[in-house]
Every structure is written in structure tokens, then in C-alpha cells.
């Protein structure tokens, strides 16, 4: 055909004239007009940490307005980071497991058991501190391995497995420690390395401990692992849809086992940070840490159904709890309202997650 213009050659036939005024768009999916809410839903679906980040910002603004400079001060803000160190580190372990659509009720018990092993070996039994520390880390990994084997080999639900091991690890801790606290002074005298993470450093008016710096580093490391390594992508895939993951060649059991062992070792690192923070080794410590770590994960916008969420969401979730506790305490509000607020935050976070999950893909 020499030309596309029909009028220049033979003239347009009558029935063709209407073409000019007809719809010229190509075939496409029906794109209903989206309401603001739907667009928000889509945005949050792609950015699960947006809401927690906004809540954190609002919390900081709110308490800065109410309490003033005593709250919005580098020292106080860095103090909040110090206060969430333990829960933050445990939260990393919890997040990894929640990403696989599991849950770990034993993280707090693993932490306390590891801290008692480190302290008791180094201070009471006279084992070289470095060795005692490594044995503590090993014990954490071993606890995680037990959880992982029960989940993968025996196909038991993680909730039940860790409910059981929570009690078992806690009982072992009481037996091994005989419920006795190892005092700060005795640790300083015999194994100061265990308290290393409690060392404070100043910069630009803020005060952080080595422990809180380590926590931030760990978040960075695990962000990289989750988003930039094959293992991380396999982990997400296993959590989102284990059948699809298996069909695409991922050894999901191996992934799960690795996740539980890693989580156990992270709990033992939290144990080290705990000794740094409270100075002593207390078998009574950390009894609520299991639930506190789940709280941080949930408020951080990670879905308990697996496969969706961000590791930094957990950091933000932990910080939100820290900001509200600290802010309410500084405002002189009765402590029961701190509990009330945390409860409210959890329910709002889960409600938002349920709503986001209904997004039309």
C-alpha cells in the first residue's frame, strides 16, 4: 500500500466514515477509577513500613508538643534507642521466623538461658570468657536447631513447638542457674567482656551503647541478607507460598532450619546485650520478651501470615513502643495507660494488615 490516507486515492466509503469518531484505545484491563482509599491500600501493600513510620513520626511530634525539650532532646531520644536494644535484637530473630509464616514464643527463654550460660561459665566455673561467650552463642544456636528440627522433621506447627520449648528452655535456665543472680560487680571483676555492650559512647550530644550500635548494625546486615541474597529471597518465598517455593526448586526445609538456627544465635547475641544493659545475669530477666518481640514485629507492619513485611518495620515497631512508654512516663501519666496504648497500637496494626491483605492484586 502506497499510502495510509484512504481519502487521497479512492475516497472513503460511507461505512468507514464513522471510524474517525470511534474509540481508538487498545484492548486493556478494565481500570476502574480508584478511590483515594484504594490507592492508599495499594501504596501500603507495596510499602508495609509506611504506616509504622508515620505513627513513629506522629508519636515523636505528639510527645515533643506535650513534654517539650525534655522529650525531644538528643539524650532522651538516644535513650529510647538504648531502651529498645534488647527487644530490637530479639525482634530481628522474631521477624525472620514470622516471615516464614511461623512464630517463636521461645526467643526470650533462649536469650535468658544463653545469658545464664555465659555468666555462669565465665564467673562461677572460671571458663575463659571468650570460650564461655562462644558456648553461650552455641547454646542459642542449639536451641534454635531443636525448634527448627521439630518444625521441619516432625511437621509440628511452630506455635506449638515454641510454646513447648519456651517452657523447657525456661525450666533448664532455672535449674542451671538455681534461680540465683550473678551480680554486676562479680562480672566486672571476672568477665568484663560480657558487659562490653553496656559501654556508652557519645556523639553529637546523643548517648548510645555499643549494644544499641550493634542492634542497628544487625538490622542493616539482615536487611542486606533478606533483600540482596538468594537465601533472603528464598526465605520470603517460603513464607509467602511454601508449595510454590518448593515447586520452583527451593529446599524449604533447609531454609526453615537455617532460619531457626540463625534466630537462636541472634537470641544469644541479645543475651550479650542484656548483660551489658542490666550489668548482671538474672535468671528472672526477659520473661515478657517473647511477647514484646512479637509486639514489635506486629506494630512494625509485618504480616503474621508470612512473606510480607520489612525488617526495618520491626525496628520502627520497637521504637514506637519505646517512644510511647518513655513519652507517657515523662508526661506523668499513670503506667496502666502505657499498657493500654501498646494494646491499642497492636490491634490497629493488625487491623491495618488485614485490610491491606484484601488488596486486589
- Which helix or strand (DSSP H or E) is residue 45 part of? helix 36-46
Least Å distance, CB 91 to other proteins, is: 15
Using the contact rule CB under 8 A, the part of the chain among 17-25, 36-44, 138-146, 154-162 near other proteins is 154-162
Q: Is 3 exposed, middle or buried (0-12, 13-18, 19+ CB in 10 A)?
A: exposed
Task: Output the CA–CA distances (angstroms, integers) from residue 287 to 87, 106, 245, 313, 346, in the order listed.
Answer: 12, 10, 36, 23, 19
221 binds other proteins (CB under 8 A): no
Query: Does position 329 bind other proteins by CB under 8 A?
Result: yes
Q: Which stretch binds other proteins (CB under 8 A): 116-124, 146-154, 155-163, 310-318?
A: 155-163
The values of phi and psi at residue 130, to 5°, are: -60, -40
String of contacts with other proteins for each residue 274-303, x by CB under 8 A: x--xxxx-xxxxxxx---------------
Which one, of 296, 303, 305, 264, lies nearest residue 108 by Cα? 264
Q: How far is the CB of 148 from other proteins (least distance, A)?
A: 18
Determine if 240 is a binding residue for other proteins (CB under 8 A): yes
Query: Any contact of residue 43 with other proteins (CB under 8 A)?
Result: no
Q: What is the DSSP letter of 122?
A: I
Q: Which of 160, 217, 291, 347 binds other proteins (CB under 8 A)?
A: 160
Return d(Cα 99, Cα 264) in angstroms, integer: 15
357 forms part of the interface with other proteins (CB under 8 A): yes
**3-class state of residue 101 by DSSP:** coil
Candidates 20-28, 31-39, 78-86, 142-150: pick the segment binding other proteins (CB under 8 A): 78-86
> For residue 45, what are the contacts with CB-CB under 8 A and spacing of at least 6?
356, 359
Q: Among the candidate windows 58-66, 82-90, 125-133, 230-238, which touches other proteins by CB under 8 A? A: 82-90
CB-neighbour burial class of residue 302 (10 A; exposed 0-12, middle 13-18, buried 19+): buried
Residues that bind other proteins (CB under 8 A): 45, 70-71, 75-76, 79, 82-83, 86, 101, 157, 159-160, 163-164, 167, 174, 178-181, 183-185, 198, 200, 207, 209, 240-241, 274, 277-280, 282-288, 304-308, 325-326, 329-330, 332, 334-336, 338-339, 357-359, 361
Amino acid at each position: 500500500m502506497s499510502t495510509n490516507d484512504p481519502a487521497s486515492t479512492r475516497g472513503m466509503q460511507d461505512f468507514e466514515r464513522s471510524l474517525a469518531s470511534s474509540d481508538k484505545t487498545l484492548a486493556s484491563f478494565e481500570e476502574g477509577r480508584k478511590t483515594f482509599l484504594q490507592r492508599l491500600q495499594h501504596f501500603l501493600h507495596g510499602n508495609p513500613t509506611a504506616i509504622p513510620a508515620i505513627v513513629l513520626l506522629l508519636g515523636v511530634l505528639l510527645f515533643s508538643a506535650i513534654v517539650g525539650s525534655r522529650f525531644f532532646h538528643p539524650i532522651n531520644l538516644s535513650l529510647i534507642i538504648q531502651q529498645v536494644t534488647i527487644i530490637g535484637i530479639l525482634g530481628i530473630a522474631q521477624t525472620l521466623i514470622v516471615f516464614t509464616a511461623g512464630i517463636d514464643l521461645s526467643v526470650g527463654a533462649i536469650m535468658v538461658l544463653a545469658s545464664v550460660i555465659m555468666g555462669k561459665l565465665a564467673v562461677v566455673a572460671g571458663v575463659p570468657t571468650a570460650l564461655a561467650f562462644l558456648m553461650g552463642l552455641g547454646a542459642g544456636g542449639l536451641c534454635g536447631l531443636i525448634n527448627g528440627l521439630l518444625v521441619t522433621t516432625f511437621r509440628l506447627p511452630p506455635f506449638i513447638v515454641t510454646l513447648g520449648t519456651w517452657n523447657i528452655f525456661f525450666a533448664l535456665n532455672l535449674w542451671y542457674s538455681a534461680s540465683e543472680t550473678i551480680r554486676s560487680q562479680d562480672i566486672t571483676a571476672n568477665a568484663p567482656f560480657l558487659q562490653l555492650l553496656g559501654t556508652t559512647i557519645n556523639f553529637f550530644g546523643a548517648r548510645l551503647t555499643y549494644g544499641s550500635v550493634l542492634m542497628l548494625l544487625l538490622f542493616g546486615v539482615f536487611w542486606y541478607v533478606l533483600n540482596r541474597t538468594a537465601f533472603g529471597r528464598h526465605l520470603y518465598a517460603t513464607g509467602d507460598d511454601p508449595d510454590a517455593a518448593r515447586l520452583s526448586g527451593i529446599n524449604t526445609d533447609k531454609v526453615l532450619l537455617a532460619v531457626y538456627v540463625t534466630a537462636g544465635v541472634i537470641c544469644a547475641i541479645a543475651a550479650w546485650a542484656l548483660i551489658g544493659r542490666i550489668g548482671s545475669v538474672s535468671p528472672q530477666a526477659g520473661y515478657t520478651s517473647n511477647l514484646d518481640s512479637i509486639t514489635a514485629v506486629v506494630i512494625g507492619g509485618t504480616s503474621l501470615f508470612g512473606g510480607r513485611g520489612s525488617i526495618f518495620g520491626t525496628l520502627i515497631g520497637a521504637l514506637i513502643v519505646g517512644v510511647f512508654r518513655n513519652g507517657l512516663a515523662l508526661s506523668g501519666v499513670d503506667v496502666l495507660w502505657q499498657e493500654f496504648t501498646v494494646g491499642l497500637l497492636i490491634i490497629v496494626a493488625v487491623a491495618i494488615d488485614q485490610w491491606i491483605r484484601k488488596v486486589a492484586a
